[in-house]
Amino acid sequence: MHDPEKATPWSGHRPVGKAALYDELAQELDGLLAGEPDAVATAANAAAAIYHALPALNWAGFYFLRGDELVLGPFQGRPACVRIPLGKGVCGTAAVQRRPVLVADVAAFPGHIACDTASRSELVVPLVVGEALLGVLDLDSPLVARFDAVDQAGCEQLATVIVRHLGGMVAR
């Protein structure tokens, strides 16, 4: 349930330390997404919460698997590429390999798809339910090397919460 008065990581409350921020964000996100059966509403609020909670992002959002490509879902940031073939770009690579892909410098990643020229580093985490790939969570930053192993583990934690809420409802 959304409570605009509550101190949350997306309303400006920042616990000390990055791991603590992810712990609190995961917990608050779980509450925010609880009880809503609509996939668009759930993904939209998740993208907004993440975008406003994590510092130095210029894009945060989802691509969902539709056939053999990823299609843009709810996000925060500038308008983005709509369709990404599996295996292409950072998102398509994370989707095919079903593992997080952390890119410290997008200029050094062959095949990186530049949706926003401001993006300098990127972290993509797949959303997997059992054997099924739902899509990916994609974060972009205007800073080189914005993401590290703590961010990767933290975003995997967020992905687990998101999958728990989205898992049964994303139409494929």
Which C-beta is closer to ligand SME: that of 50 or that of 90?
90
Sheet strands side by side (includes 132-141): 83-85, 69-77, 59-66, 132-141, 121-129, 101-103
Residues engaged in binding ligand SME (CB under 6 A):
59, 80-81, 84, 89-92, 112-113, 115, 119, 122, 138, 140
Cβ-proximal residue to ligand SME, closest one? 89
Which C-beta is closer to ligand SME: that of 25 or that of 139?
139
Which C-beta is closer to ligand SME: that of 74 or that of 92?
92
- 8 Å CB contact between 39 and 170: yes
Q: How far is the CB of 97 from ligand SME (least distance, A)?
A: 13
Q: How far is the CB of 46 from ligand SME (least distance, A)?
A: 15
- Amino acid at the residue 94: A
Phi-psi region of 98 (alpha: psi -120 to 50; beta: other; left: phi over 0): left
